[in-house]
Structure 1
Amino acid sequence: MEYIIIALQLIVGLSILNVWLVQNQKATRWRGGDATTLVEEFQAYGLPVWSVYVVGVIKVVLALLLIAAIWYPALRFPAAIGLAAMLTGSVLMHLKISDPLYKSFPAALFLVLCLIIAFVPGS
């Protein structure tokens, strides 16, 4: 089970980093509303532009902590729970603007994976 949890940590952590550091200016089918960038997506949710940067820093730091938790297991629970909380917010924002359910799928999937990482013993 330990290796499965480590794999999940890498999948979630690297995926969050990809969204926020690599794909942030690219259109994807998962963006809220008709947004083509993260800033536009937050605007579609009715959030101020500054919140993109606050949420981005929090998610990037938590993703890095989740990856670091592979070597420092004490970080695993707080990083996974922190990301789960942030991803809950992501799902709720999609629901707030009545996005089709498929748009919230990645956030919902990573939320479930974070809960598994947080609550399933790794070793």
Structure 2
Amino acid sequence: MNYLLIALQCIVAFSILNVWLIQNKKATPWRGGNATNIIEEFKEYGLPVWMCYLVGALKVILAIGLLAAIWVPELRQISALGLAALLIGSIAMHIKINDPLKKSFPAFLFLCMCLIIAFPL
């Protein structure tokens, strides 16, 4: 397997796991609106709290799928495309609440990486 793909899989997976499992209760410059944690962020988007847990569970599962895909390549594309779909949703939510474009940058960057992982050259 291409070492660049493995590196991208690790970067995306560990970043997603960091956001959802470690940084979820902390304020970051990328949070939507004026949210100081991930639950507040979903409220800023007008989404119910259960949606936060659903999206979080899906992102964690798919991030683990990207890591597992290092050894089980069949998981690579589905994990990357699943994350890509969720990242498009993240960008859409930032746009919905008129956040500055810079707040969407991490989601856009990880979306690009997921597409490269899903469709390597």
TM-score interval for Structure 1 and Structure 2 normalised by the shorter chain? over 0.9
- CA deviations 1:23-42 (Å, max 9, x no partner) are 00000000000000000000
What's 1:27 paired with? 27
CA distance in 2, matches of 1:51, 1:86: 12
What's 1:4 paired with? 4
CA distance in 2, matches of 1:79, 1:34: 30
What's 1:16 paired with? 16
Deviation at 1:109, TM superposition (A): 0.3
- CA deviations 1:43-74 (Å, max 9, x no partner) are 00000011110000000000000110001000
SS of the counterpart of 1:39? helix
Gaps of 5+ in 2: none
Q: Larger RCO: Structure 1 or Structure 2 (Cα < 8 Å, ≥ 6 residues apart)?
A: 1
CA distance in 2, matches of 1:49, 1:13: 23
Aligned residues: 121
Gaps of 5+ in 1: none
Map 1:1-123; keep pairs closer than 5 Å.
2-121=2-121
1:91 maps to a residue whose letter is: I
CA distance in 1, matches of 2:14, 2:3: 16
Identity within the alignment, %:
65
CA distance in 2, matches of 1:52, 1:82: 16
TM normalised by structure 2 equals 0.98
- 4+ residue segments displaced more than 3 Å: none
